[in-house]
């Protein structure tokens, strides 16, 4: 973006303290556009993702995957075994439930499966927000809240949903935080991410936590599959399409999983699955190798609940993109007088600007950017003119472009690793990457930047075979399908 202006008249003013609590001397100028240009230019340079940067990220992702498969703790990527060795076939029948705890919302779902002929007969779901205080509360409080939501939902069962006589209701539990899986229906929480800091759960089996909460309520249900949301998404998409090999979540947080050959997992040490394949949960949010970071990323990371961790997630996922933009705008307000002589107080509040806000601003095609004006005013208490709004759009685009392109490079890294082990089995045929999550679903610019990066890295011919497909709410249905696949009851095929 180039702005030309004659040298402005300058006066120096002393502001004893900004609304954010930092004393400062600031130079203000008549044309605020001029003073923020160096900040914007540096941001664009620091966030740049030319092809060599993308290539480095993809190669580093593939190398970190191999190191994580070789030995536990071998890289930033945990490369967790999912114990999902058999994927849904379409033959599954019966009533199954799913619970999905993956971020700021919690979902309960039921699905009636009718086998090959009828497939999914009916589904119902309900979504509840997790109260902020429970994200920082105790394990019992969180799991009691989940169990009570499930109990209420189960009471409303009827219509097309039938549980065969003498059976216990079975649940696929989608738990989208780093868990060291110990079997298909148990796993130890390694740590909370996505802004959660619940006490008393780390180091415990999360299925046991849920079972205890259900017992406290007298709820007679059984978890028959514990899955990560990416694993659930892969299973749900694979039910309809045999070419699905990778699943990626891009929402509040982010993760990816893929189908791996068991003979390519040194740390398995001789354990074999019946199919010779299993799903690996990469936990790619922890990746950090060669990412283009800015002062705003470093500052946000330092002040986060998990400093130094989840760097890829903090660069590409929905929880953080709006916050990075807010930090840039705050610096532009303080050092560059973006909003005149005062710094809007609301802009000092961490996470006041959310990713849906910056997405809505980027969808504004009006001549005067009226939606941008109203979002800035309603969310941050900011009054803006057109030149300010154009700068803010440039900031949003810079952060989102970097996020989408890095996510695309991560996907190529996974595909590269699979192709190196099985020449032609990935790039030589149609390969589907199932995508879920609100960020991917609702942010068209992000989607476009992600696809552009995949095409640039793979070239036009190969990228034609790589189908990136939206799999809406796949993880919920997928978890219910995996509960069916791992049911304690014989299927009546």
Active site residues: 194, 229
Neighbours of 281 (CB within 10 A): 27
**Token output for 204:** 């415990």
d(CA 329, CA 353): 10
| Nearest Cα residue to 100 out of 174, 50, 160 | 174
| Torsion (CA) 91, 93, 99, 101 in degrees, nearest 10 | 10
| Placement of tokens 């930033």 in the chain | 76
**Token output for 480:** 């219910």
d(CA 153, CA 474): 20
Reduce the DSSP state of residue 55 to 3 states and report it: helix
d(CA 124, CA 407): 31
Q: What are phi and psi of 139, to 5 degrees?
A: -60, -45
Q: What are phi and psi of 34, to 5 degrees?
A: -65, -45
- Sheet order of strands, 254-261 included: 80-81, 277-281, 254-261, 244-250, 431-436, 466-470
**Token output for 125:** 């779901």
d(CA 320, CA 130): 18
d(CA 228, CA 241): 20
Angle CA 472–225–312, to nearest 5 = 55
Q: Residues 6 or more apart from 210 whose CB is under 8 A from it?
A: 99, 143, 146, 147, 173, 223
Q: Residues 6 or more apart from 121 whose CB is under 8 A from it?
A: 112, 113, 114, 160
Reduce the DSSP state of residue 34 to 3 states and report it: helix
d(CA 174, CA 414): 22
**Token output for 329:** 């705008």
d(CA 291, CA 207): 35
Q: Output the CA–CA distances (angstroms, integers) from residue 14 to 221, 332, 341, in the order listed.
A: 65, 17, 10
d(CA 463, CA 467): 8
Contact status, residue 247 vs residue 256, Cβ threshold 8 Å: yes
């Amino acid at each position: 973006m180039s702005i030309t202006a004659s040298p402005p008249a300058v006066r120096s003013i002393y502001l004893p303290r900004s609304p954010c609590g930092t004393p400062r001397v600031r130079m203000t100028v008549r044309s605020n556009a001029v003073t923020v240009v160096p900040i914007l230019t540096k941001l664009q340079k620091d966030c740049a993702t030319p092809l060599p940067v993308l290539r480095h990220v993809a190669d580093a992702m593939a190398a970190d995957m191999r190191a994580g498969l070789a030995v536990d703790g071998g890289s930033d990527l945990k490369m967790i075994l999912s114990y999902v060795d058999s994927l849904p076939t379409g033959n599954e029948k019966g009533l199954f439930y799913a619970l999905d705890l993956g971020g700021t919302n919690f979902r309960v779902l039921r699905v009636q499966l009718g086998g090959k002929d009828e497939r999914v007969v009916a589904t119902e779901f309900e979504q509840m927000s997790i109260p902020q205080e429970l994200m920082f509360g105790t394990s019992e409080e969180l799991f009691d809240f989940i169990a009570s939501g499930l109990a209420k939902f189960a009471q409303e069962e009827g219509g097309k949903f039938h549980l065969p006589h003498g059976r216990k209701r079975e649940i696929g539990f989608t738990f989208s935080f780093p868990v060291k899986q110990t079997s298909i229906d148990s796993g130890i929480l390694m740590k909370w991410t996505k802004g959660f800091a619940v006490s008393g759960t780390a180091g415990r089996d999360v299925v046991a936590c849920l079972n205890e909460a259900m017992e406290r309520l007298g709820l007679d249900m059984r978890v028959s599959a514990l899955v990560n949301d990416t694993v659930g998404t892969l299973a749900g998409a694979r039910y309809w399409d045999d070419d699905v090999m990778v699943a990626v979540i891009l929402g509040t947080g982010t993760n990816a999983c893929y189908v791996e050959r068991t003979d390519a997992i040194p740390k398995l040490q001789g354990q074999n699955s019946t199919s010779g394949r299993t799903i690996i949960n990469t936990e790619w949010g922890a990746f950090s190798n060669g990412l283009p970071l800015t002062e705003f990323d470093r500052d946000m990371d330092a002040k986060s609940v998990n400093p130094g961790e989840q760097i890829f997630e903090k660069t590409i996922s929905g929880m953080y993109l709006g916050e990075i933009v807010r930090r840039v705008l705050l610096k532009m307000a303080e050092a560059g007088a973006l909003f005149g002589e005062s710094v809007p107080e609301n802009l000092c509040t961490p996470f006041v600007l959310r990713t849906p806000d910056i997405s809505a601003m980027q969808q504004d095609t009006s001549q005067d950017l009226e939606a941008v004006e109203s979002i800035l005013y309603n969310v941050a208490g900011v009054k803006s003119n057109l030149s300010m709004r154009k700068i803010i759009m440039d900031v949003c685009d810079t952060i989102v472009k970097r996020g989408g392109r890095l996510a695309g490079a991560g996907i190529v890294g996974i595909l590269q690793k699979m192709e190196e082990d099985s020449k032609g089995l990935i790039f030589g045929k149609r390969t589907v990457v199932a995508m879920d999550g609100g960020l991917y679903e609702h942010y068209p610019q992000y989607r476009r930047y992600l696809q552009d990066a995949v095409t640039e890295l793979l070239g036009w011919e190969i990228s034609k075979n790589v189908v990136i497909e939206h799999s809406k709410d796949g993880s919920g249905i997928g978890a219910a399908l995996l509960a069916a696949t791992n049911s304690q009851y014989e299927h009546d095929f």
